[in-house]
Amino acid sequence: MGVNTQPSHFILTISCDDQPGIVHALSAAVVEAQGNITESQQFSSADTGRFFMRLQVETTAGLAALEGALAPVVERYDMKSEINTVGRPLRTLILTSRAGHTLTDLLVRQRDGHLAIDIPLIMSNHDTLKPLAEFYDTPFWSQPVTTPEEKAQFEKHLLEMVDTHDIELVVLARYMQILSPEVCAALEGRAINIHHSFLPGFKGADPYRQAHERGVKLIGATAHFVTSDLDEGPIIEQNVVRVDHSQSPEELKATGQDEESRTLTQAVRWFSQHRIVLDGVRTIIFK
């Protein structure tokens, strides 16, 4: 556990069918566990009829007492629930390729203490970024992915490493390879990709060239959950930046990389703080 971990400060996230009394039942359980609610957000989805809540609770009674008090509420309302310790670094595996800007941004912020993740492994289909990983004392493994066999091997190793390191989040930091449907399914809800375009917009290859050709006045980046339906996963965060007619596709790309970095880092930060909840094909962000 990292230095920011506060063993008496917990994050509780729940979801269940919307109905009266949920907030009261949860707050009663918190009181029973001698807890104090320090942050609270909720949302009732008109789209799915589900209720979502994120609570931060301080208690000196300990985790077991909190879990014990919550158990009957979770059962009564048929809740999906999760308790995490505030500040515990999330075990994160990063997939990358040759472009290092998003990886750099993640590593810099992690080292500066602004991003609560542990990175037991970076995996890549190129060894280009190995020195960068070494500078940040982060294990790096690479293997070419040019044939179906290599891809299968790479993905097999990926799933093994997810298992070995008890990975909670996989980040595709400009990985540039399409994951197989099986891997997408295995990592559902815990793999985040950065798409170098403002979705929906320019999907597929070379969106900056598409943006130039269409003559758009803003370009953007989109962080989204990985699904087997490429570029269609639930959107987590988006940013744009103004461009003009004078910029070539290459210049758009350089400009867009800043947006890619900050958008992906923001998505990872929210995920590490358990602020992202899936509501069907949409995300709820409890900022």
Which residues are catalytic, by number?
231
Candidate list 11, 12, 16, 30; residue touching a second copy; CB under 8 A: 30
**Alpha-carbon gap, residue 130 to 87, rounded angstroms:** 28
Range in contact with a second copy (rule: CB under 8 A) among 5-13, 67-75, 98-106, 156-164: 98-106
Candidate list 41, 84, 128, 228; residue touching a second copy; CB under 8 A: 41
**Alpha-carbon gap, residue 235 to 186, rounded angstroms:** 19
- Least distance (Å) between residue 188 CB and a second copy: 16
Report the residue number, 37 or 63, with the smaller CB distance to a second copy: 37
Q: Does 156 bind a second copy (CB under 8 A)?
A: no
Q: Does 35 bind a second copy (CB under 8 A)?
A: yes
Candidate list 5, 6, 36, 164; residue touching a second copy; CB under 8 A: 36
Q: Find how far residue 48's CA is from the centre of its chain.
A: 22
- Least distance (Å) between residue 95 CB and a second copy: 20
Contact 250, 211 (CB under 8 A): no
> Quick one: which of 283, 153, 155 has its CA closest to 222?
283
Candidate list 2, 4, 5, 39; residue touching a second copy; CB under 8 A: 39
Please give the residues from 203 up to 262 whose contact with a second copy meets the rule CB under 8 A. Answer: 213-218, 220, 234-240, 244-246, 248, 254, 258, 262
- Least distance (Å) between residue 275 CB and a second copy: 11
- Least distance (Å) between residue 185 CB and a second copy: 21
Q: Does 43 bind a second copy (CB under 8 A)?
A: yes
Candidate list 64, 78, 112, 148; residue touching a second copy; CB under 8 A: 112
> Quick one: which of 176, 283, 178, 179 has its CA closest to 237?
283
Q: Does 5 bind a second copy (CB under 8 A)?
A: no
**Alpha-carbon gap, residue 198 to 181, rounded angstroms:** 24
Q: Does 64 bind a second copy (CB under 8 A)?
A: no
Candidate list 201, 226, 270, 274; residue touching a second copy; CB under 8 A: 201
Q: Which residues bind a second copy (CB under 8 A)?
A: 20-21, 23-24, 27-28, 30-31, 34-44, 46, 100-101, 104, 108, 112, 114, 131, 135, 198-202, 213-218, 220, 234-240, 244-246, 248, 254, 258, 262, 279, 281-285, 287
